[in-house]
Structure 1
Amino acid sequence: MAKRIGITGNIMADQSGPFPGYNRAYVNNDYIQSAAEAGGVPFILPVIQETELLKEQVSQVDGIILSGGQDIDPLLYGEEPLQALRKTFPDRDAYEKELIQTAIAMEKPILAICRGMHMLNVTFGGTLYQDLSHASFAEIKHDQEKDPPLKTHHVSFEKGTRLHSLFGDSARVNSFHHQIIKETASTFKAAAYAKDGVIEAIERTGELFVVGVQWHPEMLTKKHEDMKKLFSLFMDAVGT
């Protein structure tokens, strides 16, 4: 039976062409290819605000990938925006918060990537550092800026987690972020750390597969078998 995977989309405005400023719904193709190669049938879930349509979106898929993107509005976790905050998209925040809650209520597995991990954490009461500069312990370069399939630093996995069962004690990952988790939501546990103490993955307690990773495995699957296995692990949890 086909496993239908919903991938959260984003909106961008055309910068050129016949319709400058015209909004387009999209998702980076690496998410689609990684889900398809792991045996899923990928669908893009566009940002919408109608609750009933959102519930129908979730009901039509078997699992969800939360994709990367903009910073999360700090007002969602009780902070005013600081100087280093970058572009936010409050409508997407509101959509994904409700999407996450609906998916978990319907027992749909979730794999959350980068911003997606932050959204998972904030949805259930966790907080973020709005920029690495606000976390004095963060010393590793966490934004490699280019070369998406290049692995640039190590992460260590906590024993007893799903990710430890897949990767073992450590793995090397890519890195494209300037925000990190400050306080982990009470229903989640940290599953991986960078060597400077930055949380690199979280997992929800309980049987349902709800896993967030800070790096971008979808950019690595073409060259790295271990990241293909991460999508396979997620797919194994879908539809079971």
Structure 2
Amino acid sequence: MRPLIGVPSRTGVRGENAEKPVYYSNKSYIHAVESAGGVPVIIPIMNDYESLRSLLFRLDGLLLSGGIDVHPNTYKEEATIDLSETDAELDKLELSLAHWAWQEDIPTLGICRGMQLMNVSLGGSLYQDLATGYEGDLLKHANWQLPRNETVHSVSITPGSRMREVLGVDKILVNSLHHQAVKNLGKGIVASGLAEDGIVELLEIPERSFMLAAQCHPEELYSDNPVWSRLFQAFVDASSDKMGRQMDTLASVMRASA
């Protein structure tokens, strides 16, 4: 049996006159999870948050994907720049999911916005815009004009970190498609990889069984670089372990009640 991996949806519109609101997820996330042996399940933004519980207890893992800006009010700041697109309902949903995953120790993988969201969920903050807010020499991190699988800079991975154990290398090349980034780390979060300019590119939560995140987009890189396949495989394996423990617990309860 394969583990079920929740992937929060994005909102958009379809149709010639943009008259059809839709929920969706990028195919690359779906197939990255599938390639590692997981079954992706898209989580819609529902009107009744209580109804989410019917879905959540069936999930074995959570993938928080990339996307639009995280609004500064989620980390108690006023917007100091003209932000890109934001979505208050999406922020609310994903923060709720991140809190649930942390409390229940659900294996979680954050990617780009998802990494930033994980940091905010535990009290961390973000650079609202690296180009205007980061003090120091800065690489170009917003490379939206390039193909999504083109690598542009390296990341040094912290020795002894879980990310170093999973990826199996000390340094890795990454694509870079973001203008926001982690500023102050949230409670219990450890930076496990830095870009050459000091920007946090990898993080993890050591006190949980599997909570790792990457600022780059490994879902666009795993088919060309087996190092990134290891990240998705480790995530799905951790989710499988979670599923197995839940099934063992259920079997024990059923035996006790027989």
Q: Quick one: distance in 1 between partners of 2:226 and 2:235?
A: 15
Q: Deviations over 1:86-106 (max 9, x none)?
A: 111111001111111112222
One-letter code of the match for 2:153? Answer: H
Aligned length: 238
Q: 2:112 aligns with which of 111, 114, 119?
A: 114
The aligned counterpart of 2:211 is: 210
The aligned counterpart of 1:183 is: 184
Alignment of 1:222-233 (within 5 A): 222-233=223-234
* Partner SS for 1:193: strand
Contact 1:131–1:178, Cα closer than 8 Å, also in 2: yes
Structure 1 residue 116: deviation in Å?
0.4
Pair 1:164 & 2:161 matched:
no
Query: Which structure has the bigger radius of gyration?
Result: 2
Between 192-201 and 138-147, the greater mean CA deviation after superposition: 138-147
One-letter code of the match for 1:175? Answer: S
Alignment of 1:9-28 (within 5 A): 9-14=9-14, 16-17=15-16, 20-28=18-26
- Structure 1 ranges of 4+ moved more than 4 A: none
Between 139-148 and 48-57, the greater mean CA deviation after superposition: 48-57
Q: Quick one: distance in 1 between partners of 2:48 and 2:119?
A: 23
Measured on the aligned residues, the alpha-carbon RMSD in Å equals 1.4
The aligned counterpart of 1:135 is: 134
Structure 1 stretches lacking a partner, 5+ long = none
Structure 1 residue 78: deviation in Å?
1.4
The aligned counterpart of 2:95 is: 97
One-letter code of the match for 1:141? Answer: K
**Structure in which a larger fraction of residues adopt helix:** 2
Q: Quick one: distance in 2 between partners of 1:164 and 1:205?
A: 13
One-letter code of the match for 1:7? Answer: V
Contact 2:2–2:240, Cα closer than 8 Å, also in 1: no
* Partner SS for 1:238: helix
Q: Quick one: distance in 2 between partners of 1:31 and 1:118?
A: 17
Q: Quick one: distance in 2 between partners of 1:135 and 1:66?
A: 25
Distance 1:98 1:156, change over 3 A: same
Q: Percentage identity across aligned positions?
A: 34
The aligned counterpart of 1:149 is: 149
The aligned counterpart of 2:57 is: 59
